[in-house]
Amino acid sequence: MDTKHIQISDFNYPLPAERIAKFPVTPRDHSKLLIYDHGVVNEDIFYNLPKHLHSGILMVANNTRVIQARLHFHKDTGALIEVFLMEPASPSDYEQIFQTTGHCSWLCMIGNLKKWKEGSLQREFTVNGKSLMLKATLDRERGAHSATGTNYWVDFDWDDPSTSFADILDSVGELPIPPYLNRATEESDKTTYQTVYSKIKGSVAAPTAGLHFTNQVLEAIERLGVEREEVTLHVGAGTFKPVKSKEIEGHEMHSEFICVHRHTLQNLVKHNACAFAIGTTSVRTLESLYYVGVAIALNPTANEDQLHVEQWAPYDLPHNDEGLVVVNGSPITPVQAINNIIDWLERDGLEALHTSTQIIIAPGYKYKIVKMLLTNFHQPQSTLLLLVSAFVNGDWRKIYDYALNHGFRFLSYGDSSLLIP
C-alpha cells in the first residue's frame, strides 16, 4: 500500500453532535467498552476490562498530566487576549520550567493576536495569600516558531522569587478541554480530565483512553498478573489538527516530546518487545522506540536531537516484508532496537531517553511493539482514525458502525474500545 497517497476522505463517517460526550460518565469506570477480538465485536462495561486480559501482559500507559495552559489577559482597552502555552522555550525542559521563579519563556498560540500590537500584558493574581503581578511580553523579533507559523515566543515575569511558574498556572491558568466539546471549562474538569495515574506535567490535552481507569480497576489488573509500565508523551494541541489535504502526504504531523525510563525498556525486552498500549499516545511512544533504536543502529554516536523520529521514517527507510528496517543487510528486530537504546543510555550513564517524535501511523504501517490497544473513538478523517485502521488491518468501519448503532459515546469524554487484531 502506498501510504502517502491514502485519501483522507476514505476515513469519513457520520458523527452526530449528540454522540459527542460533553461530560464523562460517573464513576469513570462505568463507561461502555467495545471489544474487538480477532474480528468479532462485543461490548461490556469498562470495570470488567480485567476479564478480557490475562497474566503475563505488559500494559503501558502515558503518565503525562494536563496543565492549565490557557492564560487570559485584558488590555487597557478591554480586549481579551488568550495566551495558550504550547511548549517550553527557556528553560526548554518541562520539569525545570515549572520550577522556575521570576521568569520563564514559552512558545504559545495567541488568541486575538491582532489586538496585541505592542507592549506587555499584565494580570494581578493571588497565590498563598500574596498579591502578585504576572507580565507577558511577546517577542516579535523572534517571529513564529512552528512550521505552521502559529507559535510565538512569550516571556513571562512575576514579582515574587518564592512563587514557581507551576504555582502561577494553578492559580490563574485554565484547563484546556477539547474545542469540540463546545463548552467552557468547569471545575469538575480539573479532576475528570486527568488520569488517576497522571504525574508529569506538560500536556495540553489528556491521553483520554486512560480516563476510564480507577484505582480499583488498576488493582484488579495487577492481581491478574498484568505488569504495568509508564511512559511520558506530552500531548500537544496538534492532536486536534484536522487533515486538510486530500492525501495524507500533504499533512504535517505535530512533534511531541517523549520520555521512557531505562527500567521500562528493560521490561519491554523481558516481554519480547510486546505491549498492551493504553491510548494512541502510548502507541506513538512505543512504536517510535523502534525507530529510535534503528537510528542508533545507523549512528551509534547520535545525540538526543538526532534520535527524533521523523514523520515518514517508517515508510522511507528500507524494510523487509514484515516491516522491519534492514541495516547492513540484516533486519532490526524490536528487541534489538530497544536493546540499542538501553546500550546507548548505559554508555552515557542516563536513566531515561528524552527525545521527540513526529511519527504518523497509517494503513500500510506494520506494528512492531503494540499487540493490544485500548482507545476511545476518534474524529472522522483524523490521523488517530488512520492509526486505528492500521492496527485492525483496515477493519475500522465494523468497529465504528457497531459503536454508532449501539449507543456508544464518542471522543475525549466518550467510551472506549479494546482492540485485539
Q: Which of 341, 250, 232 is nearest to 296 (CA)?
A: 341
Residue 27, preceding peptide bond in cis (omega within 30° of 0)? yes
Give pLDDT, residue 145. Answer: 59
Q: What is the per-residue pLDDT for 147? A: 46
pLDDT string in tens for the chain (421-residue length): 799 999 999 999 999 999 999 999 999 999 999 999 999 999 999 999 999 999 999 999 999 999 999 999 998 888 899 999 999 999 999 989 999 999 999 999 999 999 998 889 999 988 888 899 999 999 877 766 554 457 899 999 998 888 999 999 999 999 999 989 999 999 999 999 999 999 999 999 999 999 999 999 999 999 999 999 999 999 987 777 788 999 999 999 988 999 999 999 999 999 999 999 999 999 999 999 999 999 999 999 999 889 999 999 999 999 999 999 999 999 999 999 999 999 999 999 999 999 999 999 999 999 999 999 999 999 999 999 999 999 999 999 999 999 999 999 999 999 999 999 9
CA distance 381 to 396: 12
pLDDT at 146: 53
Crossing angle of helices 280-298 and 262-270, in 10° steps, is: 90
Domains and their CATH numbers in the chain: 3-65+191-420 (3.40.1780.10), 69-174 (no CATH)
pLDDT at 105: 96
Distance CA 403, CA 280 (A): 18
Going by DSSP bridges, is the β-strand pair 200-203/64-66 parallel, antiparallel, or unpaired?
parallel
* Statement: the pTM of the whole predicted model exceeds 0.85: yes
Residues 154, 83 contacting (CB under 8 angstroms): yes
